[in-house]
């Protein structure tokens, strides 16, 4: 849990694009269903909680928090899974 992961956070309402300055390195996209998706890398759990605090403080209703695939840095010790090559 302490390695960088990508997260997807869904909020109620369309958040203006300028909020991206508050969520450094994350992308904000407005969805057709009236929600906003914030997506991007989160260094660790502490950073995730910091992000959630920011959302709490601006009072925007939170719908879901999802962990996407962990970021795997390919290396000799950690080769990419075979099946992804085929």
Binding site for other proteins (CB under 8 A): 11, 13-19, 21-22, 30, 34, 36, 56-60
Residue 59 or 81: which CB sits closer to other proteins? 59
CA end-to-end span of the chain, whole Å?
29
Rounded Cα distance between 12 and 82, Å, is: 39
Nearest distance from C-beta of residue 26 to other proteins, angstroms: 14
Rounded Cα distance between 48 and 75, Å, is: 26
Residue 13 or 70: which CB sits closer to other proteins? 13
Residue 58 or 71: which CB sits closer to other proteins? 58
């Amino acid at each position: 849990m302490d390695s960088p992961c990508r997260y997807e956070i869904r909020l109620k309402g369309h958040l203006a694009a300028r909020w991206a300055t508050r969520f450094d390195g994350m992308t904000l996209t407005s969805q057709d269903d009236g929600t906003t998706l914030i997506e991007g890398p989160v260094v660790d759990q502490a950073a995730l909680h910091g992000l959630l605090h920011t959302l709490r403080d601006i009072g925007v209703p939170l719908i879901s928090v999802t962990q996407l695939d962990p970021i795997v840095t390919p290396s000799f010790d950690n080769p990419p899974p075979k099946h992804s090559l085929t």
